[in-house]
Structures are given as structure tokens and as C-alpha cells.
Amino acid sequence: MKSPSVVGILGGMGPAAGADFARLFVQACAAHLQALGLPVSDQSFPEHWLAQVPVPDRTAALDAPHAGRAGAHQPLDPMLQALGRLAALGATTVAVACNTAHAWHGLLQQRFPQIEVLHVAHEVAHDLRAQGVREVGLLATAGTYRAGLYDGVLRDAGIACHLPTEAERERLMHGIYHGVKVNDLALARDCFEPVARALAERHGLSTLILGCTEIPLALPAVPGHPRLRCVDPAWVLARALARRAYAGFREERPMLAA
């Protein structure tokens, strides 16, 4: 019988988001096993490796000249080194636990063609389209907006994407850098919640994409808006990684005597 595949998680951007992604992946694996009608036990989880590496600021790098090229000041080099370590450990599929880091997805995939590097925006667009969602708002980093990581992918899926104003984007960045990254979740929540409310009310939205792995850590839902669904791309990506891990998996069961 085939065992689950070895998979990897490229984290460290920031470390809290990487650690939380590992938790989400374990949760996604348990849900996948239950959906298959299989028992959940320690031995039924796939071998998975979390690489928490220091990576230079992704948004700042996208602001710099020649953004995206390899260099000591760019995120690409440490991400490539971590991906190489995951490949050496036998990972066949890797999830990158940072939305903005997907600006370098093409280069990562090109350098490691033997590994499937999942793309978070593609996974989110696929899920939303399957659910019939046709309009969303996007909360993200300035780097994610600048790189257009979600816009084109969502448009190709037939989903309109609404973005915050410049002032609202600055407030999101303040919540990320001076809130979540320094463990001040109260400050982060005070920054994220008004932007989420304003964006949803301005466009009459029922779905928001929390397009930074650190936003859901402080704002898993918008208080007072029970019908406003907040989509966590990390959870979508974790479920996609679980599906890859269990592709073709069959639980070994003892054969019964005739």
C-alpha cells in the first residue's frame, strides 16, 4: 500500500505565521482522513518538514530596484536554500507560508522542477470559483498589492477583486508590522477591523480574502458581521498540501484469515 508523500512548509515569514501554518496543516490532514473514512492516529499523518528561515522583508524587496532578482538583500536566496533543504529531505510538494513571498513563486518553481511549489492565489481562486463566489475584497500587504498576486488570478477565475484605499493599506501595514510581528494583537485588530468593515460596506461584499498569513492571527472574523465570510488563504493552502500528501494513499490494514 502507498504511504503518504513527504511534504514541506517554507516558513519564517514571520515565524508565528509559519508555526500556525503547521498547525493548520495537521488540522487539514485530520479532516482529510476523516473524509476518507479512515481513523486519525499519530501514524496516519504524513512526514512533513517546517523550514523556519530568516527571510529579508518581502514588501521592502519589491520596493527595491531590480526586485525579484537573486541577491543578499533579497528574499529569493534564503528561500531557495530552504527549498533545497526540503528537497533533500524528500519533500515532493511545498507550501510557502507567506502570501507576499509568492512574488518569487515562478523562480522557486523553475529552480526546483522536481517539487510542486503550491501557489496560494491559484488555490484560493479555485476554491472560491467552485463555491460560486464572484466578488471579493482583499486585505494584504503593500507588496502583495504591488505584485498583483491575486488580481489577475481571480480575474481569470471570473471573480471581481476590490482593494482598500491607499490610507487603508497603510493601516493594514501598521497592524502587520507594529501589531502581529511584535505580538501586539490588540493593536493589529484595531488596525485590521476598520479596514475590513469599510471595504465590505463600500462594495457590499460578503467575502473577504485575508491575503497575509499574519492578518488572520489577529482578525479571524469581523465582529458584528456574521454574514461576512473571511477566507484564510493559509487554511486553503494547508488543505491543498494535505490533498497532495494523501494523493493515492491507502491505509494498510491487516489481512483477515480466510
Joined together, the cell numbers standing for residue 48 give 512533513
pLDDT for the residue 103: 95
Neighbour tally for 169: CB within 10 Å: 19
Joined together, the cell numbers standing for residue 185 give 494583537
pLDDT for the residue 250: 58
What does pLDDT average to in each consecutive run of 10 residues of the chain (258 residues)? 89 92 97 92 95 93 62 80 97 97 96 98 98 97 94 96 98 97 96 97 97 94 91 97 88 39
Q: What angle do CA 194, 16, 51 make, to 5 degrees?
A: 140
Report the chain's terminal Cα–Cα distance, integer Å. 20
Write the pLDDT tens digit of every residue in 32-77: 999 989 899 999 999 999 999 999 999 989 886 554 444 445 899 9
Pairing status of strand 93-96 against strand 48-52: unpaired
pLDDT for the residue 226: 86
DSSP letter (8 states) at residue 113: T
Mean confidence (pLDDT) of the chain? 91
Domains of the chain listed by start with CATH number: 7-120+238-245 (3.40.50.1860), 121-232 (3.40.50.1860)
Please choose, from the candidates 239, 163, 241, 179, the residue with its C-alpha nearest in 3D space to the C-alpha of residue 215: 179
Question: Alpha helix locations (H) across 3-75?
Answer: 15-35, 58-63
pLDDT for the residue 84: 97
Instruction: Note the pTM of the prediction, 2 decimals.
Output: 0.90
pLDDT for the residue 102: 96
